[in-house]
């Protein structure tokens, strides 16, 4: 029975911790006094949200038959848990629903503590968690932006709101960076499964526009996320030490060059998927370190 917890994809939950660490570091750098209880609750809600969307994805992909058509990689294609243990499907759905209820309960508590305006973040978040696999994947634009919005404009920005009770230009900049980064994380992971995804009715960008155009969008998103950093520092929205994030260019240059060069053959270049995961983690983590140094 313990096997069912693999549908939460625990190895991928580090992304949530990166988002919240970035929000925490920025809030501390801005001089906010952060409640330990609020910090713990935000982490729990963030992890529960991530677990829920992963488990819903596993369940719905199993029910649609998609999991039987994809070739899983260490970074895409799902955990394969329900393919080898289909009797666990109901338990996977239970995990997804339970985690979503935990998100809702924790979110309502934060609304009670910090004001009803937080519903502007909470309600869209709950909608994305449930609708991503079933509905948003049928729209190229929604499928492209929903993951980034969930982790950037909702999770990262929402955490800063709870920690700081205000949203500055720096907060919006960091949230926009994470939106671009996470959208790209999911975008590249769609490249190996175009044929399988199309067979079950999905219409994400690589299916509709093709791999070459999607690779260009990928490169633009990542370089825009990087360009925002010196721009924000120049305007005084972020401290100079946050430029430490630019050290991640050592990963970005070969990553974007490789994706543009091998756009039609990404399934044979799985290392690019791993390099993308590494960059999406390293860039905000280095900014986090810079923010903490500047305190």
DSSP state letter for 294: T
The mean pLDDT of 105-116, rounded to a whole number, is: 95
Q: How much is the pLDDT for 267?
A: 74
Distance CA 27, CA 37 (A): 15
What pLDDT band is residue 90 in, cutting at 50, 70 and 90? very high
What's the rounded Cα separation, in Å, for the pair 179 and 196?
26
**C-alpha to C-alpha distance for 201 and 136, rounded to whole angstroms:** 11
Tell me the C-alpha distance between 291 and 253, whole Å: 24
Over residues 112-145, the pLDDT tens digits come to 999 999 999 999 999 999 999 889 999 999 999 9
End-to-end CA distance of the chain: 46
- pLDDT given at position 1: 54
| CA atoms of 166 and 160, how far apart (whole Å) | 8
pLDDT band at 93 (very low <50, low <70, confident <90, very high): very high
Q: What is the pLDDT of residues 5-60, one digit of tens each?
A: 889 999 999 999 999 999 999 999 999 999 999 999 999 999 999 999 999 999 99
pLDDT in tens, 179-209: 999 999 999 999 988 988 898 889 999 999 9
pLDDT digit string, tens, across residues 263-276: 988 777 889 999 99
Q: Strand, coil or helix: what is 239?
A: coil
Interval 230-249: pLDDT, tens: 999 999 999 999 999 999 99
């Amino acid at each position: 029975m313990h096997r069912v917890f693999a549908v939460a994809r625990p190895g991928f939950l580090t992304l949530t911790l990166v988002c919240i660490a970035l929000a925490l570091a920025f809030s501390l750098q801005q001089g906010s006094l952060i409640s330990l209880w609020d910090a713990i609750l935000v982490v729990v809600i963030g992890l529960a949200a991530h677990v829920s969307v992963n488990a819903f994805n596993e369940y719905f992909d199993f029910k649609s038959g998609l999991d039987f058509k994809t070739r899983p990689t260490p970074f895409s294609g799902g955990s394969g848990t329900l393919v080898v243990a289909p009797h666990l499907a109901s338990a996977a759905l239970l995990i997804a629903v339970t985690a979503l209820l935990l998100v809702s309960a924790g979110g309502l508590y934060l609304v009670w503590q910090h004001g009803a305006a937080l519903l502007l973040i909470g309600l869209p978040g709950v909608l994305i968690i449930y609708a991503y696999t079933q509905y948003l994947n049928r729209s190229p634009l929604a499928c492209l932006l929903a993951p980034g919005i969930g982790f950037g404009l909702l999770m990262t920005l929402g955490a800063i709101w709870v920690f700081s009770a205000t949203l500055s230009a720096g907060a919006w900049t960091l949230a926009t960076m994470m939106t671009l980064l996470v959208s790209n994380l999911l975008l590249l992971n769609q490249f190996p499964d175009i044929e399988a995804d199309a067979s079950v009715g999905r219409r994400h960008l690589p299916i509709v526009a093709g791999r070459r155009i999607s690779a260009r969008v990928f490169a633009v998103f990542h370089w825009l996320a990087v360009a925002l950093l010196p721009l924000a520092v120049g305007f005084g929205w972020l401290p100079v030490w946050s430029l430490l994030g630019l050290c991640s260019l050592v990963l970005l240059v070969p990553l974007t060059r490789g994706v543009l060069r091998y756009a039609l053959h990404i399934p044979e270049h799985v290392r690019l998927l791993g390099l993308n995961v590494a960059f999406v983690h390293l860039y905000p983590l280095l900014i986090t370190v810079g923010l903490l140094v500047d305190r």
